[in-house]
């Protein structure tokens, strides 16, 4: 495994892959740690999770710098990600016991209740784009529920993966309760097949999700999938345009456009189409990119060279089909994996920038002639992760939000994840939920206890 700085294209460090024998040994040790951890009271679990949050905040600068160097996130966003990771640790430290308390139900028994008990060792297959947040939003509820955790992180962020393991160890968790497996994707099936691994969760591509889900299905093991997204950003004619346009650029450019819940398809009513385009072009064309460790950089490089090549293909193919470049549209002539912030108009649903998931700083704008057509275009996608809808009429916004096929719709706001709210998708964006009380109950045994 190679850690490569995407701002320069130069290798930072090379890591040796673990052998399957080493993986099996780690799994055995994690299972042993789980057996005692599952009997540890919530009060003790909470203390250690709080300590984890404290370490993250105290070492925010160092951990954020590691993240920026390995996958190119600008330092301000990297620091915010560390803070958010600490937040989810605090959230479950404070709420896990309440979320998992016995639920008493009246029945024909003298007493009947539901008990929420840990499953065992859970495998997490995680992506590179939010290398700390994605892991902690799994690990915090999973460990607080009494489970053990195995992390198979993306191959381009091994330094982040090992740093997370080290944070949990230094916080005082049992040494092997949360372990990183430095393995390639082809070895995941071997881990899932291990009888001591009880379930798996994945955040990533449709292809990776289908592979993990099918392997888990062979062994009758539960999975949670958070997959791709092509989130609609719907602008109705009565939207508050200044705030809407600024949020549109922020929603598209977060993590240089490399986010599952970044706004990706901008669907605008014709009455305000020209004004919206003018505003976003002005903002996008003024964004400054550069060294992700520089405080003045508004966006950084894409994480890998193949991602630059893919977004460039999608743009060029869309132009061939009739899209117009309003700004950007090309690779930046600098070292590293940079792409110009791009706005495309004259978009049709058949173009790759509308029909495919785009992972990069490209903002395509589609004109519609009514709110009915806007909803139709919003749902014209195989994905259903999130969405954003803009209107001054709140009741109308709620009514239309109910009709958009997605796991979350934000009215007059940017789609985001929050520990207090459930997160996940429908259609090809996956299934199951993370965060909130729904997320912590994904990997527990919901057990009925009936007493005569």
Q: What residues are labeled active site?
A: 226, 260
Structure tokens belonging to residue 438: 């729904």
What are the beta bridge partners of residue 149? Answer: 122, 178
Q: In whole angstroms, what is the distance from residue 100 CA to residue 97 CA?
A: 5
Q: Are 207 and 230 in contact (CB under 8 A)?
A: no
């Amino acid at each position: 495994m190679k850690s490569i700085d995407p701002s320069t294209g130069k290798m930072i460090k090379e890591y040796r892959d673990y052998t399957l024998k080493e993986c099996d040994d780690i799994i055995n040790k994690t299972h042993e740690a789980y057996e005692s951890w599952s009997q540890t009271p919530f009060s003790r679990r909470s203390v250690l999770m709080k300590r984890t949050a404290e370490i993250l905040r105290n070492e925010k600068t160092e951990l954020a710098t590691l993240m920026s160097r390995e996958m190119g996130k600008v330092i301000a966003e990297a620091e915010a990600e560390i803070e958010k990771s600490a937040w989810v640790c605090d959230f479950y430290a404070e709420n896990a016991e309440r979320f998992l308390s016995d639920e008493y139900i009246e029945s024909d028994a003298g007493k009947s209740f539901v008990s929420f008990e840990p499953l065992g060792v859970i495998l997490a297959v995680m992506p590179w784009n939010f290398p700390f947040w994605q892991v902690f939003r799994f690990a915090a509820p999973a460990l607080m529920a009494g489970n053990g955790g195995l992390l198979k992180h993306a191959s381009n962020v091994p330094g982040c993966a090992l740093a997370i393991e080290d944070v949990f160890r230094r916080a005082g968790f049992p040494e092997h309760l949360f372990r990183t497996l430095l393995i390639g994707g082809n070895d995941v099936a071997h881990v899932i097949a291990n009888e001591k691994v009880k379930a798996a969760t994945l955040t990533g591509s449709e292809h990776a999700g289908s592979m993990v889900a099918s392997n888990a299905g062979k062994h009758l093991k539960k999975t949670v999938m958070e997959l791709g997204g092509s989130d609609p950003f719907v602008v109705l004619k009565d939207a508050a345009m200044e705030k809407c346009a600024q949020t549109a650029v922020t929603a598209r450019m977060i993590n240089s456009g490399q986010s599952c819940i970044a706004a990706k398809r901008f669907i605008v009513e014709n009455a305000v189409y020209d004004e919206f385009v003018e505003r976003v072009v002005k903002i996008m064309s003024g964004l400054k990119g550069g060294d992700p460790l520089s405080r003045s950089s508004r966006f950084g490089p894409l994480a890998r060279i193949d991602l630059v090549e893919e977004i460039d293909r999608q743009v060029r193919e869309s132009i061939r089909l009739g899209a117009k470049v309003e700004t950007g549209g090309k690779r930046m002539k600098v070292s590293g994996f940079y792409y110009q912030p791009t706005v495309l108009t004259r978009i049709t649903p058949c173009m790759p920038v509308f029909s495919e998931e785009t992972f990069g700083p490209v903002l395509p704008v589609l004109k519609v002639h009514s709110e009915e057509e806007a909803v139709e275009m919003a749902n014209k996608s195989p994905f259903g992760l999130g969405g954003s809808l803009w209107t001054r009429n709140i009741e109308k916004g709620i009514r239309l939000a109910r009709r958009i096929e997605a796991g979350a719709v934000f009215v007059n706001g940017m789609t985001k994840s929050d520990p207090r709210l459930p997160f996940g998708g429908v259609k090809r964006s996956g299934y199951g939920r993370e965060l909130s009380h729904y997320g912590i109950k994904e990997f527990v045994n919901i057990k009925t206890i009936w007493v005569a």
